[in-house]
Amino acid sequence: MFNKFLISSSILLLATSSAFGASGVKFYVGKGDKEESFMNMMNNKISKIGFVLTDAHARINDAYKAKWGVEFKNIKGVKTKNNDYDSEFKETLDNIGFFSIANNKIVEPLLAKEPTLGVFTPFNLLIYKKNDENKTYVGHVMPETMLDIAGVKDKNVRSKFIGSFIKLDQMVQKNIGSDIKILDYKALPEKPMMTFEVAFDRAGGVDKFIEDFQGKFEKKFEEHKYIIAGYKNVKDEMNAENIKFDRFDAYWVYSLCHFRFSEGIFNKGRPDAGVFAPCSMYMYIDKDTNKLMIGMPRLTTWNSVMDMKDKKMVDSLYALDKEITQIMIELGAKEI
């Protein structure tokens, strides 16, 4: 059974009890437009509780409208036909924004034990507001669900990762609103992650391989109309902080977005599914090995957690999973 409900903070414990199954996503809900409060929190407050804003993608709804909702554009004073104009485009969102964040000092060292946790390092703190509703929603995938998707078993890692969300949730509740919306789900798919490996010759140099692979990766995905929405070099960040991270020769995370795909879900009735966007794909090389290890949550995991009913949306999830797998194979990756 899938439950959507609004609760006060005083009964939050009831919302997360086993009576409702597993809690997958949590939103704090504020009355009215909370964009100013949210942006102030992101720009001036979250760093004080240890979070780093890796990439900010504010008001993506404006970009949707500019891309498909405007028939003519004004270019250098000249009225020009917009070739991407979609006469069926309907603007449903007053705001939607994707903000990739992580508590680096707590979470990044955990990757040495559970490197698959990189699929949520960073994770998205989503804000959205519908045109037909005077409420603002700010939320994220529950940390327990992130850990389950990534297949993290280590109890100490799980405890520290979950604990890193306490101050963040308190801050969001204080700045956005005390009403809480929990989305429950029944189960994750049997294989919530897609994983790959790329063999390479270390004799040519690890740095040279990384440079070449990243160039090919970015070009290939951009050719398929994906946007590189973020990049996080975890190894470099750990070195800069003088934190021991010597398990890896390299570790980085890409964030990917397919613009038309995202509009087809977030602007067409399921903005809440934006908690999973953009998709984070970790890549790492264990020290002295000759394999690049890669992983990303399958987009069909969205359907399991968000209970998406629209067939067109669900089909698009399966289509992108298939396409991403094919792109990786074309890049020389082996699915594992």
Angle at 102 between CA 97 and CA 106, to 5 degrees: 160
Cα separations in angstroms, 22 against 18, 36, 46, 74, 290: 7, 32, 28, 50, 39
Tell which residue, 75, 183, 177, 89, has the closest CA to residue 127: 177
- Mean per-residue pLDDT over the chain, rounded: 93
**CA 149 to CA 129: how far, in whole Å?**
27
Q: In percent, how much of the chain has pLDDT > 70? A: 94
Residue 296 predicted with pLDDT over 70: yes
Residue 4 predicted with pLDDT over 70: no
Stronger pLDDT, 161 or 242, i.e. the higher one: 161
Residue 246 predicted with pLDDT over 80: yes
* pLDDT 10s digits, 173-222: 999 999 999 999 999 999 999 999 999 999 999 999 999 999 999 999 99
* Per-residue DSSP letter, 121: S
- Return the pLDDT at 9: 39
- Return the pLDDT at 84: 94
* pLDDT 10s digits, 33-42: 999 999 999 9
Instruction: Spell out the domains of the chain, with CATH numbers in brackets.
Output: 4-335 (3.30.310.70)
Tell which residue, 208, 216, 243, 302, has the closest CA to residue 111: 243
Tell which residue, 92, 84, 98, 102, has the closest CA to residue 130: 92
- Return the pLDDT at 12: 40
pTM comes to: 0.91
Stronger pLDDT, 182 or 2, i.e. the higher one: 182
Residue 334 predicted with pLDDT over 70: yes
Stronger pLDDT, 76 or 333, i.e. the higher one: 333
- Return the pLDDT at 21: 58
* pLDDT 10s digits, 93-118: 999 999 999 999 999 999 999 999 99
